[in-house]
Amino acid sequence: MRYLLLIYTRETDVEPSADEAAASHAAYGAFTREIRERGLLQAGEALTPTSTATTVRVQGGEIVATDGPFAETKEALGGFYLIEARDLDEAIETAAKIPAASVGSIEIRPIWELPAEFAMAAGETGHEVGAAG
């Protein structure tokens, strides 16, 4: 089964020190390597802070773009991994190893595998990402 692991952390205005940033990159590097070697990794990206986010809605046929995320929340989406795991237990075990799990939280969402006829385009993209990962 495929699961999306959504990484939520508290955003701060304070820039991390060079040491902190290096430690964080090393930790994520090690985690990513491990799940790639285990054949779990399909995709994974880090996101820039929510201060760079734009929320789009269509209201009465008009595109309304606003600054920032829709709701003020304590923790913000900071990145994600898409993994292929045996079952929820393996997904939980994997999520727990994401460095942010000990300071923030990881939301695990099973991928809704749509039938091919409904998801032709999405399916093809998925294969490309899978092959690249």
Interface with other proteins, residue 39, by CB under 8 A: no
Report the first-to-last Cα separation within the chain, whole angstroms: 16
Q: Which residues contact 83 (CB under 8 A, 6 or more apart)?
A: 2, 3, 5, 35, 40, 41, 42, 91, 94
Residues between 93 and 112 that touch other proteins (CB under 8 A): 93, 108, 110, 112
Interface with other proteins, residue 4, by CB under 8 A: no
Show the tokens assigned to 75: 């923790």
How far, in Å, CA of 102 to CA of 7, rounded? 11
Interface with other proteins, residue 1, by CB under 8 A: yes
Residue 69 near residue 50, CB atoms below 8 Å: yes
47 vs 120, beta carbon nearer other proteins? 120
Show the tokens assigned to 21: 């940033």
The least distance separating other proteins from the CB of residue 109, rounded to whole angstroms, comes to 9
Segment lying near other proteins (by CB under 8 A), choices 20-28, 51-59, 70-78, 82-90: 82-90
Interface with other proteins, residue 21, by CB under 8 A: no
Q: Which residues bind other proteins (CB under 8 A)?
A: 1, 3, 85-89, 91-93, 108, 110, 112
